[in-house]
């Protein structure tokens, strides 16, 4: 809180725009405008000049920037929409730009096209299922959005079932729409989740951390017990182990790992492995 207050005072006292490279890992506030160093091949090292970030793809643009959660494109500017720490991931080519996002402790999910989420079927209206995904309104799911589904061969979906699917429509002006098939018409792991297991909710930041390719937490959990696990970008996790006790242990570990250090996590895993 003290850090956020100092940043707010500094932002109000000084200029509105801030250089992104100087605030990476620091708290940014909604409404701030980001400045990035322009990459010019003709200039030597240290010759970059701070300019407002231009997101328009033109012939003169040499830097491609992807806006992640917490950032919004507004014309040719990049504005902060959430309070949190600014993060950056360099592109594989190393040509500048990359992905920028704000790492916040947000729990309310805003649907994004292409996100894989876990939803709960709340109602059936004609040929459409209403699915609670944790957003401001339920998503719609057609019975034809399952692998092999036809008018005669309808999927066995009941109110209260857990659905793992992805968004094909998600914007502020339309109702979100889900499907349980990929672009080739295959389920690819999506559909109705089994009746057993445990569903719990964590922060969106922890979900992104667990889904990282090099996440050590998932590797350590996989060595502890045999398990089935499903992650939803809406902050929901479904886990199932061999016994109810093991399922509860895994759920408690995943919920607490957000605030644990690597050493604390290793101590817990070593104790569980010995028991």
CB neighbour class for 178 (10 Å; exposed up to 12, middle 13-18, buried from 19): buried
pLDDT tens for the 275 residues of the chain, in order? 455 545 444 544 444 577 777 788 888 888 888 876 553 333 344 444 444 555 554 444 556 777 787 888 776 677 888 888 888 887 766 556 678 888 877 778 889 889 999 999 999 988 899 999 998 899 999 999 999 888 888 888 999 999 999 999 998 788 999 999 998 889 999 999 987 899 999 988 889 889 888 888 888 888 888 999 999 999 999 999 999 999 999 999 999 888 888 888 888 888 888 77
Total residue length of the chain: 275
What span, in angstroms and rounded, lies between the C-alpha atoms of 156 and 48? 59
Provide the pLDDT for residue 64. Answer: 72
Domain that holds residue 71: 18-39+63-103
Is 235:195 a contact under the CB 8 Å cutoff? no
Residue 51 falls within a domain, yes or no? no
Contacts of 83 (CB under 8 A, 6+ apart): 4, 27, 28, 29, 30, 102, 104
Q: What is the pLDDT of residue 3?
A: 53
CATH classification at residue 158:
2.40.50.140
For residues 250 and 265, membership in a common domain is answered with yes
The answer on 188 and 202 residing in a single domain is no
Residue 45 forms part of a structural domain: no
- 82/50 Cα distance (integer angstroms): 23
CB 177 within 8 A of CB 131: no
* Pair (142, 202) in one structural domain: no
The mean predicted confidence, pLDDT, of the chain is: 81
Contact 17, 37 (CB under 8 A): no
Residue 91, in any domain of the structure: yes
Instruction: Return the number of other C-beta atoms located less than 10 Å from residue 257's C-beta.
Output: 23
My answer on whether 91 and 24 are in the same domain is yes
pTM, to two decimals: 0.73
Predicted pLDDT of residue 57? 45
For residue 109, is it within any domain?
Answer: no
Cβ atoms of 133 and 113 within 8 Å: the answer is: no
- Total domains, the chain: 3
**Going edge to edge, which strands form the sheet with 98-103?**
27-28, 84-89, 98-103, 65-67
Q: Which of the listed residues 74, 103, 132 is the one where a domain comes to its end?
A: 103
Does residue 83 lie within any of the structural domains? Answer: yes
């Amino acid at each position: 809180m003290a850090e956020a207050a100092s940043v707010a005072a500094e932002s109000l006292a000084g200029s509105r725009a801030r250089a992104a490279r100087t605030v990476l890992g620091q708290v940014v506030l909604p409404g701030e405008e980001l400045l990035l160093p322009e990459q010019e091949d003709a200039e030597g090292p240290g010759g970059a000049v701070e300019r407002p970030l231009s997101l328009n793809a033109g012939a003169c643009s040499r830097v491609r920037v992807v806006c992640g959660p917490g950032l919004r494109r507004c014309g040719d500017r990049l504005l902060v929409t959430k309070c949190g720490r600014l993060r950056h991931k360099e592109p594989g080519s190393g040509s500048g730009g990359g992905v920028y996002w704000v790492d916040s402790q947000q729990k309310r999910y805003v649907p994004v096209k292409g996100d894989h989420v876990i939803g709960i079927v709340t109602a059936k209206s004609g040929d459409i299922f209403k699915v609670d995904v944790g957003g401001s309104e339920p998503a719609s799911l057609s019975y034809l959005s399952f692998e092999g589904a036809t008018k005669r061969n309808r999927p066995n979906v009941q109110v209260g079932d857990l659905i793992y699917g992805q968004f094909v429509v998600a914007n502020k002006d339309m109702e979100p729409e889900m499907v349980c098939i990929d672009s080739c018409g295959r389920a690819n792991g999506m559909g109705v989740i089994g009746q057993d297991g445990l569903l719990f909710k964590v922060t969106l930041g922890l979900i992104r951390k667990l889904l990282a390719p090099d996440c050590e937490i998932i590797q350590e959990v996989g060595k502890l017990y045999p398990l089935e696990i499903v992650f939803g970008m809406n902050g929901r996790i479904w886990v199932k182990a061999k016994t109810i006790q093991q399922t509860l242990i895994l759920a408690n570990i995943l919920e607490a790992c957000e605030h644990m250090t690597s050493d604390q996590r290793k101590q817990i895993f070593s104790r569980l492995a010995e028991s």
